[in-house]
Amino acid sequence: TKETFDHIKANDDQVKAFLTLDEEGAMKQARAVDEAGISADQLVAGIPLAVKDNILTKGLRTTAASKMLENFNPVYDATVVEKLKQAGYVNVGKTNLDEFAMGSSTENSAFFTTHNPWDLTRVPGGSSGGSAAAVAAGDVLGALGTDTGGSIRMPASFNGIVGMKPTYGRVSRWGIIAFGSSFDQVGWLTRSVKDNAYLTALIAGNDEHDTTSSLKAVPDWAAQLNDSTSIKGLKIAVPKEYYDGLRADVKEVIKAALDHLESLGATVDEVSLPHTHDGVPAYYILASSEASSNLQRYDGIRYGYRAPEAKNLEEVYVKSRSQGFGDEVKRRIMLGTFSLSAGFYDAYFNKAAKVRRLISDDFTKVFKDYDLIVGATGASTAFKIGAEIDDPKTMYMNDVLTVPVNMAGLPAMSLPAGFSAEDGMPVGLQLIGKPFDEQTIYNTGYVFE
């Protein structure tokens, strides 16, 4: 733990992965492990890990990278944090993100932008950019993230690490600061597939506090990681929509990865997920609608920022929210409120909900004949800081290959497949599985280690 902090102190003034470091708390947790010894159920005893700052940690400031929650100290732990505590982990601190997890670059953080450790002039992706950068910089071997439309997989891809979004319902959302509740899922960003399989099992499972969490038993994914023989006969589908539009340098890396899987005995066929390109517009309506509802709780009264000069109740609401939320969050609240309003509900929210079903049906059809869907995580590599921040539509299009997965609630992982010949940055390969079949994803990813 001490070495971890030495490493962070030497790097983080440049990378800026952390919003809050908890050296005192971490040393205390580490000492407790030293003194008590490791009991059999403490599967990560003494291991320093990090937590995205939209996940509640009791007594440790949790901001969601928003001015609204700048001084918010949770009175309880998220279920995932509680489970990690029981397993003996050491929490190093809280990682930076786009405000309320809305964004693809970490530039929407109200506090500062995180830099990509591979090239400090580039973004680490988002919204779990701080978690990804902390892992890629070698600070910790794993960091928790959340994925509503790609926020674990996309930063994993941009930082050359592994990021898994488990099946919707696999991991409890209790204590996660809600964004789009029917999409949000917690998962790990790690350096290796094996670590990821191991750590995800620790946080998964039913939770009485989250009625959408599944009753299904959690397999010991790490113990069942097979060698490359498990790839023999695996039926892989490559959606042309996940391949055709890629930048040439990204395509080259993805092609090599597919060739590798074929050489190990998988069959690789081209398929179509025809509604892929409807995913981004429909997602931004649905996720923003849910966000507009979820964010109503920040009213300047119950907790969070309150505008000091407000003179009456109306002003408390208006001024606190106007001053407390950043531009992107306001954009989503307005888009969502509009889409849900009586006169426009059918034209926007309802229509987008129908598109969601079509996207989900596309996947179901392909999974009748195939075990796994494979493609790129992003059409490009990490872009320069500042390049897209003033152009929300271009920023949203970064999610074109990740949001369909959240629409359908499927598990999907991004893993490092190689480097771009154009800019030298990492390229991520995305593996998408059937509902609750994280195992096939992990087994396939493992052959790249």
Task: Pick the stretch among 140-148, 188-196, 236-244, 260-268 that binds ligand GLN (CB under 6 A).
Answer: 140-148
Q: Where are the alpha helices (DSSP H) in 264-326?
A: 279-294, 313-324
Does 62 bind ligand GLN (CB under 6 A)? Our answer is no
Quick check: is 52 catalytic? Answer: yes
Q: Which of 53, 68, 62 is CA-nearest to residue 303? A: 68
Enumerate the H helices of 110-212 as residue ranges: 129-136, 153-159, 193-203
The reply to whether 127 belongs to the active site is yes
Contact between 186 and 410 (Cβ < 8 Å): no
Of 66, 105, 109, 127, catalytic? 127
CB of 101 to ligand GLN, least distance (A): 4
> Given the rule CB under 6 A, which of 11-19, 30-38, 144-152, 335-343 is the region that contacts ligand GLN?
144-152
Identify which of residues 174 and 446 has a Cβ nearer to ligand GLN in the complex.
174
Give, in order, the Cα–Cα distances in Å from 427 to each of 195, 241, 376, 408.
20, 17, 8, 24
Q: How many residues does the chain have?
A: 449
Structural contact between residues 414 and 154, judged by C-beta atoms closer than 8 angstroms: yes
Per-position x/- string for 394-413, each x denoting binding to ligand GLN as judged by CB under 6 A, each - no binding: -----x--------------
Longest dimension (CA), the chain: 70
Stretch that binds ligand GLN, among 5-13, 80-88, 97-105, 350-358 (CB under 6 A): 97-105
Tell me the DSSP string of 389-432. TT-HHHHHHTTTTTHHHHHHT--EEEEEEEE-TTT--EEEEEEE
Contact letters (x/-) for ligand GLN, 160-199, by CB under 6 A? -------------------x--------------------
Residue 84 makes CB contacts below 8 A (sequence gap 6+) with 44, 49, 91, 202, 203
Instruction: Tell me how far, at minimum, the Cβ of 65 lies from ligand GLN, in Å.
Output: 11
Among residues 74, 88, 93, 103, which is the contact residue for ligand GLN, using CB under 6 A?
103
> Does the annotation mark 16 as catalytic?
no
Helix 23-36 vs helix 2-15: angle between axes, to the nearest 10 degrees? 160
If binding is defined by CB under 6 A, does position 95 make contact with ligand GLN? Answer: no
Q: Which of 104, 105, 131, 151 is catalytic?
A: 151
Q: Which residues participate in catalysis according to the annotation?
A: 52, 127, 151
For ligand GLN, the binding residues (CB under 6 A) are 101-104, 127, 146-151, 179, 287, 399
